[in-house]
Amino acid sequence: MKKERYYVSDISNISGLTKRTIQYYDNEGILKPAGRDEHNRRYYTTKELSILEQITFYRNLGFSLKQIKEEINYNDQKEALLNILTKQETHLYSQLEEIQGRVDAVSTSKRLIAEGYTPPWELLSKIMKGLNKVDMSIWSTYPFSETQLTIFESIFDSQQQVFQFYHTFRKLAIKAASYKGAGVPVNSKLAIELAKEWLKMIEKVTKGKPEILNSFLQVDANRERWNKGEKDLLEEAEPYLEELLKSYMKNTPLDKNI
């Protein structure tokens, strides 16, 4: 049977939080008690227990106490809750991409060494430094046109799919910039593998439809709205990719599988 009142010691035992933390939440206005009893002791109800469960969840997602206090209203409707969770999801993907970018740099360096090339250490360090500062949330305010939004919503069913494409794009751009810096010939085995990966990515996301490709090209032409790290990476990779794809398409029969 549930109790009608829970005191600080009860909340501490249930949640695993210290009494000091619970009192701090009260002082900061994050978790207010339901009231005080005849002995002036703070007490809580099942409602506050539910709120505390949400606070713990948000904290484990990486929300700061300031965010929880200022941005989360526990009486919010579904849309508001979805918005705050989507915002945090984007922040977490930014952190994930930062780590993934380092993994991709390591993998590319290992492959270059295995094939007898010296990785361009200085260039890779510059790229990593730039990508570490990338804020994925800027894409939520990017001025997509109505046509672009319609097209992108038709090919990406979820934010996860968007980030999967973004990750593939960045990984291949890191490879291209690295190969350029390491002096990998465009007719080498490494380069041809990259050409196939790049064309496969383009085919998968555009489905061979010119209107989809055009929407991506319009975003590409608006690089001043990109994160600086993304823009710098592509500018490093682009000359090599252009030369590589020109060479590959020239020497590859049209009916050859990509």
Same domain for 113 and 186, yes or no, is yes
Looking at 56, 71, 86, which one is the last position of a domain? Answer: 71
- DSSP lists the bridge partners of residue 7 as 43
pTM for this predicted structure: 0.76
Average pLDDT over residues 106-133: 94
Q: Own/partner pairs for 250-256, CB < 8 Å, 24+ apart?
A: 251/187
Looking at 71, 92, 121, which one is the last position of a domain? Answer: 71
Mean pLDDT, all residues of the chain: 89
Same domain for 108 and 221, yes or no, is yes
Average pLDDT over residues 99-116: 94
Same domain for 17 and 111, yes or no, is no
Torsion, Cα 138 82 96 190, to 10 degrees, reads -70
Cα gap 132→98, rounded to integer Å: 5
pLDDT of residue 247 exceeding 60: yes
Please check whether residue 245 lies inside any domain of the structure. Answer: yes
Distance between the two ends of the chain, CA-based, in angstroms? 65
Same domain for 105 and 168, yes or no, is yes
DSSP 43: E
Average pLDDT over residues 186-190: 95
By C-alpha distance, which of 109, 224, 100, 212 is closest to 167? 100
Same domain for 239 and 180, yes or no, is yes
Same domain for 143 and 212, yes or no, is yes
Please check whether residue 166 lies inside any domain of the structure. Answer: yes
User: What is the gyration radius of the CA atoms in the chain, in angstroms?
Assistant: 25
Q: Contact at 8 Å (CB) between 143 and 198?
A: no
Range of the domain at 82: 78-251
Q: Give the pLDDT confidence score for residue 186 in this predicted structure.
A: 96
Q: Contact at 8 Å (CB) between 86 and 159?
A: yes
pLDDT of residue 165 exceeding 90: yes
Same domain for 244 and 138, yes or no, is yes
User: Which stretch of 12-16, 56-60, 90-94, 209-213 has the lowest confidence by average pLDDT?
Assistant: 90-94
CATH of the domain at 19: 1.10.1660.10
Please check whether residue 118 lies inside any domain of the structure. Answer: yes
How many folded domains does the chain comprise?
2
Cα gap 187→174, rounded to integer Å: 18
Q: Give the pLDDT confidence score for residue 77 in this predicted structure.
A: 67
Same domain for 107 and 220, yes or no, is yes
Same domain for 156 and 182, yes or no, is yes
Q: Give the pLDDT confidence score for residue 81 in this predicted structure.
A: 78
Same domain for 13 and 119, yes or no, is no
Extended strands (E) in 77-172: none
Cα gap 199→216, rounded to integer Å: 14
pLDDT of residue 258 exceeding 50: no
Same domain for 141 and 226, yes or no, is yes
Sheet holding 35-36, edge to edge: 6-7, 42-44, 35-36
The label of the residue with tokens 């210290």 reads: 18
Query: What's the pLDDT band for 185 if we cut at 50, 70, 90?
Result: very high
Average pLDDT over residues 211-215: 95
Cα gap 101→103, rounded to integer Å: 5
User: Which stretch of 83-92, 110-119, 169-178 has the lowest confidence by average pLDDT?
Assistant: 83-92
Same domain for 37 and 143, yes or no, is no
pLDDT digits (tens, 9 = 90+) for 59-104: 888 888 888 888 777 766 677 778 888 888 888 888 888 888 899 9
Cα gap 102→99, rounded to integer Å: 5
